[in-house]
């Protein structure tokens, strides 16, 4: 949500809040002098303020937007305090809209999206009952039947029939009770099926939401001034419950991501260990076994046919050199010699020379702390491997710059794009490696628009490197 849009919504909320307060002060309605009525704008403003905060912090969730709608719907109740019969009667219908939004909030928390089936059906039923549920009684009730002797005339009334009005009010109350029971059962079943972390985020919302539903229903049914005060207080606290649930949701997400990251690191470590074992067994170990057999054969020849010994020794020396070359290549895959001996920039130049796609490297020669240089190297290595395998690019560019306490790494190609950082072990593992150093990884890869991998790593002198770095 943009800053301009946030400011516009906040200004509209202040205007509505001020208009509601002015309407309360200037109304001759019997309830206008009640404390809860004068404090009513505070509830709407608190919902909107909390919703805007949640909307900015969690744009992936619709809960923030729903809380904003809830706040504006709450202001519609103020129409019940006007002296106009038409607006007063209209408020008896649209004033209940906030109840539908409220139920929508509770049922869709924490995503703000209703699941098909029961959740969507209950939300629709809530919107209908909280708004149109009072219409049948309004057709036969006058203000006295509605419990408001000094209120304006009911323009929906077609004829006065207290018995019918009372019967329809009983039906409305029954619908409220049935809806409450169904919502209670639905939320209880959902909470029972969720894990411990999810329960932490759902509990404050469900408890406060159901309690508010119950006391508002009692207040609407004429339970008295005490019930109205309790309903007002419960509704005023709802934004805090939703905010607490969202914060818990965020923390639960971080914990789950940490668990997943640790699991991926363990898997990657096991995979790399098996690769090293296989390479040693199939390469250097096999050559050393062959060398041992060759030396044994040479020893036997030294006694039986000394003239063949020089040729056999030359063959043994060749095997030794080949084994050393394989071990050197294997070690380079673990930690490149160029990175250790000469630094990041020369190591990246050597890496780029092995890629079949033309790669330009623009890196300053500053020596970086070991963990940072290693992370940057393998990040570029993974990115260029993806360029070579999947990007269908004609060129790529690697840029490394130090900006204050951070190292900025960019790898850009002109390929087909479409890279997804959430799928594939390469980019996911890279994200884990960068995250382990408190760095950030951003991948922009629109289809047909190439790929840009942007990495930022915190960088400070590492005492273990003796101030030299790499």
How is the chain split into domains, by residue range?
3-258, 270-334, 342-465
- Residue-level pLDDT at 237: 78
Assess contact for 315 and 290: CB atoms under 8 A: no
Pairing, β 440-444 against β 406-413 = unpaired
Q: Which residue has the higher pLDDT, 201 or 18?
A: 18
Give the count of beta carbons closer than 10 Å to the beta carbon of residue 338. 18
pLDDT higher than 50, residue 319? yes
Question: Which residue in 375, 376, 441, 383 sits closest to 413, CA to CA?
Answer: 383
Exposed e or buried b for every residue in 180-210, given b needs 16+ CB within 10 A?
eeebeebbeebeeeeeebbebbbebbbebbb
468 pLDDT above the threshold of 60: no
Residue 258 has pLDDT above 70, yes or no: no
The confidence band for 331, taking pLDDT boundaries of 50, 70 and 90, is: low
Cβ(383)–Cβ(429) under 8 Å?
no
Peptide bond into 110 cis (omega under 30): yes
What confidence category does residue 282 fall into, taking pLDDT thresholds of 50, 70 and 90?
Answer: low
Vertex 407: Cα angle to 350 and 467 (nearest 5): 85
Position 197 scores a pLDDT of 63
pLDDT of residue 243: 75
pLDDT (tens digit per residue) in 369-384: 877 888 888 888 888 8
pLDDT of residue 264: 57
| All residues at 6 or more sequence positions from 282 whose CB lies less than 8 Å from its CB, including other chains | none
Report pLDDT digits (tens) over 74-118. Answer: 888 888 878 888 888 888 888 889 889 989 988 988 888 998 999
Q: What is the pLDDT at residue 208?
A: 81
Per-residue pLDDT tens digits for 47-66: 899 889 888 877 878 888 99
Mean pLDDT of the chain: 79
Name the token pair of 170: 């009983």
> Taking Cα atoms as reference points, which of 464, 385, 468, 458 lies closest to residue 419?
385
Sign of CA dihedral 113, 115, 120, 122: negative
Rounded CA separation 454/436 (Å): 16
Banded pLDDT at 314 (limits 50, 70, 90): confident
Assess whether pLDDT exceeds 50 at residue 436. yes
Q: Please say whether the beta carbons of 419 and 386 come within 8 A.
A: yes
Higher pLDDT, 128 or 366: 128
Q: Whole-angstrom Cα distance, residue 57 to residue 50?
A: 11
| Region of poorest pLDDT, from 6-10, 292-296, 368-372 | 292-296
| pLDDT at residue 279 is higher than 50 | yes
Fold classification of 342-465 is Heat Shock Protein 90 (3.30.565)
Six-digit token string for 321: 């050199």
Highest mean pLDDT among 15-29, 123-137, 204-218, 408-422: 123-137
Strands 396-403 and 406-413: antiparallel
Which whole number is the average pLDDT over 399-425? 84
- What order of strands is seen across the sheet that includes strand 396-403? 359-363, 396-403, 406-413, 451-458, 440-444
Q: Angle 282-285-291 (CA atoms, 0-180°, nearest 5)?
A: 120
Averaged pLDDT for residues 251-266: 60
Helix axes 97-108, 162-193, angle to 10 degrees: 20
What mean pLDDT comes out for the span 293-310? 74
Output the pLDDT for position 153. 86
Q: How confident is the model at residue 220 (pLDDT cuts 50, 70, 90)?
A: low
């Amino acid at each position: 949500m943009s800053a301009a849009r946030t400011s516009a919504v906040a200004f509209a909320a202040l205007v509505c809040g001020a208009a509601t307060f002015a309407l309360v002060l200037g109304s001759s309605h019997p309830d206008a002098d009640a404390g809860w009525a004068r404090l009513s704008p505070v509830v709407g403003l608190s919902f909107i303020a909390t919703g805007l905060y949640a909307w900015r912090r969690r744009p992936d969730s619709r809960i923030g937007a729903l809380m904003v709608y809830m706040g504006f719907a709450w202001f519609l109740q103020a129409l019940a305090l006007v002296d106009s019969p038409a607006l007063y009667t209209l408020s008896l219908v649209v004033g209940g809209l906030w109840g539908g939004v409220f139920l929508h909030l509770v049922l869709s928390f924490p995503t703000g999206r209703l699941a098909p089936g029961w959740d969507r059906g209950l939300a629709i039923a809530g919107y209908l009952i909280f708004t149109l549920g009072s219409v049948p009684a309004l057709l036969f009730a006058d203000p006295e039947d509605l419990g408001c002797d000094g209120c304006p005339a009911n323009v929906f009334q077609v004829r006065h029939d207290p018995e019918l009005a009372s019967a329809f009010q009983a039906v409305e109350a029954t619908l409220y009770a049935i809806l409450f029971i169904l919502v209670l059962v639905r939320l209880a079943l959902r909470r029972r099926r969720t894990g411990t972390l999810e329960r932490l985020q759902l509990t404050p919302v469900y408890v406060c939401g159901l309690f508010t539903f119950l006391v508002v229903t009692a207040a609407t049914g004429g339970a008295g001034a005490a019930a109205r005060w309790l309903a007002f207080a419960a509704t005023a606290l709802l934004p805090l419950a939703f905010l607490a649930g969202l914060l818990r949701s965020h923390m639960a997400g971080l914990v789950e991501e940490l668990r997943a990251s640790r699991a991926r690191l363990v898997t990657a470590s096991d995979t790399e260990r098996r690769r090293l074992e296989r390479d040693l067994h199939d390469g250097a170990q096999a050559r050393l076994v062959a060398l041992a057999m060759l030396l044994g054969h040479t020893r036997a020849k030294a006694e039986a046919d000394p003239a063949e010994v020089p040729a056999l020794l030359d063959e043994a020396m060749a095997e030794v050199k080949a084994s050393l070359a394989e071990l050197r290549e294997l070690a380079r895959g673990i930690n490149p010699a160029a990175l250790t001996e000469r630094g990041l920039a020369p190591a990246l130049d050597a890496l780029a020379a092995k890629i079949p796609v033309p790669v330009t490297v623009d890196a300053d020669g500053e020596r970086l702390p070991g963990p940072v240089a290693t992370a940057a190297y393998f990040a570029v290595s993974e990115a260029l491997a993806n360029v070579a395998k999947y990007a269908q690019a004609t060129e790529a560019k690697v840029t490394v710059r130090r900006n204050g306490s951070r190292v900025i790494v960019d790898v850009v190609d002109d390929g087909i794009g479409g890279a997804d950082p959430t799928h594939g072990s390469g980019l996911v593992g890279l994200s884990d490696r960068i995250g382990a150093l408190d760095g950030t990884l951003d991948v922009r890869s629109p289809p047909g628009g190439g790929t840009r991998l942007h990495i930022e790593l915190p960088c400070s002198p590492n005492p273990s490197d003796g101030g030299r770095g790499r």
